[in-house]
Chains A and B, each alone.
Chain A
Amino acid sequence: MQITVTVNGAEHVREVEARLLLIHFLRDDLGLTGSHWGCDTSNCGACVVWLDETPVKSCTVLAAMADGHRVRTVEGLATNAASEEGSGEARGGGWGAGGGELDPVQQGFTECHGLQCGFCTPGMMMTARWLLDRNPDPSPEEIREALSGILCRCTGYENIVRSVLWASKHEAAGRASE
């Protein structure tokens, strides 16, 4: 069957089997290996991507379910320095594919050493971005609750929470100075 999926702002039309999982469509068909394939059982969250505005576990979603919808992966977190209209805005909207300025969540993970092996990191960051969009000033408990579906074997979660707190404070400062 043919599906049309807009991934990080770019439309892709592909022939797929109905049983193809979204994580494999993204990684194998589109070469977007930023999303990781972990437990395959919807537990670990390494595969989390956005389907429209909603983080989902892409190992448990069919690519067919994304037909006619938008998908955002970790490659689409950074704001695009060169948008489709040319060297355009570096902020606001636009799920550009790579390049440009790191999202504050990505900056936070850099500043606060929020990753070691990096395997859970795409899932952590996509979920953290969604959290901060809905709740710009979360408490550490709220961060832990929001990320409870993504498992990390390296960090013990402390620096992940610090990274998300960093991002929320950085964004608040950005809003205050606008």
Chain B
Amino acid sequence: MQVPAYVEYEKATSVEHALGLLAKFGPEARILAGGHSLIPMMKLRLVQPETLIDINGLSELSYVTVDNGRLRIGALTRHAQLLDAAAAGAHFAILHDAERVIADPVVRNWGTIGGSLCQADPSEDLSATFAALKATMIIRGPGGSRTVPAREFHTGAYQTVVAPGELLTEISIAIRPGGGSAYEKVGRRVGDWPVAAAAVAVWLDPETGGTITDAGLGLTAVGARSFAAAEAEDFLRGAAATEASYAEAGRIAAEHCNPASDQRGPAEYKRHLAGELTVRALRRAVRRARQQPGGEP
């Protein structure tokens, strides 16, 4: 039986209240949202907070909206809500691709987007997704809100820039016409962490759809810096949207990642997957970008 260590518990009634509780209880307090990352770690005593601050009542942090040319996702949004949100899938099909392969439907009912990002597991699927989409994180603290680009959000395994007295409140993505996106994941079984995964967002030239004008490439579970494949992105910008380009982008992405051998597979296999899944995600993202001149199907 895995039992967490003794812990105190507070229920936040508003974002301001949550910030006040964080300030009061200091760095040994932890925010409790869905708890499906935190509670397993507490059971194994990998983390032993002194106080849990339950934010499940903060409905003001649970939303998926389109606002001022941006898709805005509240940090307390459950994975199931994001998967159910038509607006999210319409603008960024990658979000639904990724959510469909995160955990299982019941876990998705309770786990949150913010919780997954803040746990910052190197195999977590949304980190690479938001890196590919070049999302912006909004973090609230006692002094107000600050924004952090997705690629600067993580500082290492299980480490983010969210400081002890702060709360991640929103993830937002700029909506641009002419784009397509996709997520390709290989895992050992349903709901498992990926062996490797690739996240792709591309924008094509509006006249012919034959050239990639911009690209975002994310990689999961292969030790990619900031969950991104920046060198492959540089190659793709301005490149023709052809199989030859996808293959080269895959080769570059595989070359620049840093997978480790573990129970999910040997490093060489993960490196191979990084390349191959980048190619497959590119194919699908480009097809989606072409299907609708203004955006995705």
Q: Decide whether A and B are members of one complex.
A: yes
Q: Which A residues lie at the B interface, using CB under 8 A?
A: 1, 17-19, 21, 40-43, 45, 48, 51, 54-57, 60-62, 64-65, 67, 127, 145-146, 148-150
The contact of B109 among A1, A40, A54, by CB within 8 Å, is: A54
**Is the pair A19, B7 in contact by a Cβ cutoff of 8 Å?**
yes
**Is the pair A61, B35 in contact by a Cβ cutoff of 8 Å?**
yes
Whether, in the assembled complex, B105 has its beta carbon less than 8 Å from a beta carbon of chain A, the answer is yes
A-B contact pairs, 5 of them (CB 8 A): A40-B43, A43-B191, A60-B107, A60-B110, A62-B35
B260 → A minimal CB distance (Å): 22
Q: With a CB–CB cut-off of 8 A, which chain B residues contact A42?
A: 36, 40, 103, 107
The contact of A65 among B1, B4, B54, by CB within 8 Å, is: B54
Q: With a CB–CB cut-off of 8 A, which chain B residues contact A64?
A: 9, 54
A150 to B107, CA, bound (A): 10
Known: A60-B35, A60-B36. A40 touches B2 (CB 8 A): yes
B193 → A minimal CB distance (Å): 12
**Is the pair A45, B40 in contact by a Cβ cutoff of 8 Å?**
no
**Number of B interface residues in the complex (CB < 8 A):** 29
Task: Provide the B100-130 mask, 1 if CB < 8 A to any CB of A, else 0.
Answer: 0001111101100000000000000000000
**Is the pair A146, B110 in contact by a Cβ cutoff of 8 Å?**
no
Q: Which B residues lie at the A interface, using CB under 8 A?
A: 1-9, 11, 32, 35-36, 39-40, 42-43, 52, 54, 56, 103-107, 109-110, 190-191
A41 to B191, CA, bound (A): 13
A43 to B42, CA, bound (A): 16
**Is the pair A41, B9 in contact by a Cβ cutoff of 8 Å?**
no
The contact of B5 among A19, A40, A48, A55, by CB within 8 Å, is: A19
**Is the pair B191, A56 in contact by a Cβ cutoff of 8 Å?**
no
A85 → B minimal CB distance (Å): 31
**Is the pair B104, A18 in contact by a Cβ cutoff of 8 Å?**
no
**Is the pair A55, B109 in contact by a Cβ cutoff of 8 Å?**
yes
**Is the pair B109, A60 in contact by a Cβ cutoff of 8 Å?**
no
A145 to B1, CA, bound (A): 29
Residue of A nearest to B110 (CB): A56
**Is the pair B109, A148 in contact by a Cβ cutoff of 8 Å?**
no
Residue of A nearest to B51 (CB): A18
Residue of A nearest to B54 (CB): A65
**Is the pair B106, A19 in contact by a Cβ cutoff of 8 Å?**
no
A149 to B106, CA, bound (A): 6
A56 to B5, CA, bound (A): 22
**Is the pair A19, B4 in contact by a Cβ cutoff of 8 Å?**
yes
Known: A61-B35, A64-B54, A65-B54. A18 touches B110 (CB 8 A): no
**Is the pair B106, A150 in contact by a Cβ cutoff of 8 Å?**
yes
**Is the pair A148, B190 in contact by a Cβ cutoff of 8 Å?**
yes
A62 to B104, CA, bound (A): 20
The contact of B105 among A17, A60, A146, by CB within 8 Å, is: A146
Residue of B nearest to A146 (CB): B105
**Is the pair A62, B105 in contact by a Cβ cutoff of 8 Å?**
no
Given contacts A48-B106, A148-B191, 7 further A-B contacts (CB under 8 A): A19-B3, A42-B36, A57-B106, A60-B36, A60-B39, A61-B39, A62-B32
Residue of B nearest to A150 (CB): B106
Residue of A nearest to B100 (CB): A145
**Is the pair A149, B1 in contact by a Cβ cutoff of 8 Å?**
no
**Is the pair A18, B7 in contact by a Cβ cutoff of 8 Å?**
yes
Q: With a CB–CB cut-off of 8 A, which chain A residues contact B11?
A: 67
**Is the pair A61, B52 in contact by a Cβ cutoff of 8 Å?**
no
A89 to B110, CA, bound (A): 32
**Is the pair A41, B106 in contact by a Cβ cutoff of 8 Å?**
no
B187 → A minimal CB distance (Å): 12
A40 to B44, CA, bound (A): 11
**Is the pair A149, B104 in contact by a Cβ cutoff of 8 Å?**
yes
A34 to B181, CA, bound (A): 44
B44 → A minimal CB distance (Å): 9
The contact of B107 among A18, A40, A57, by CB within 8 Å, is: A57
A45 to B103, CA, bound (A): 12
**Is the pair A60, B40 in contact by a Cβ cutoff of 8 Å?**
yes
Residue of A nearest to B42 (CB): A19
Residue of B nearest to A1 (CB): B9
A54 to B79, CA, bound (A): 13
Q: With a CB–CB cut-off of 8 A, which chain A residues contact B43?
A: 40-41
Residue of B nearest to A48 (CB): B106
- Of residues A17, A41, A146, A149, which shows the largest number of chain B Cβ atoms within 10 Å of its Cβ? A149
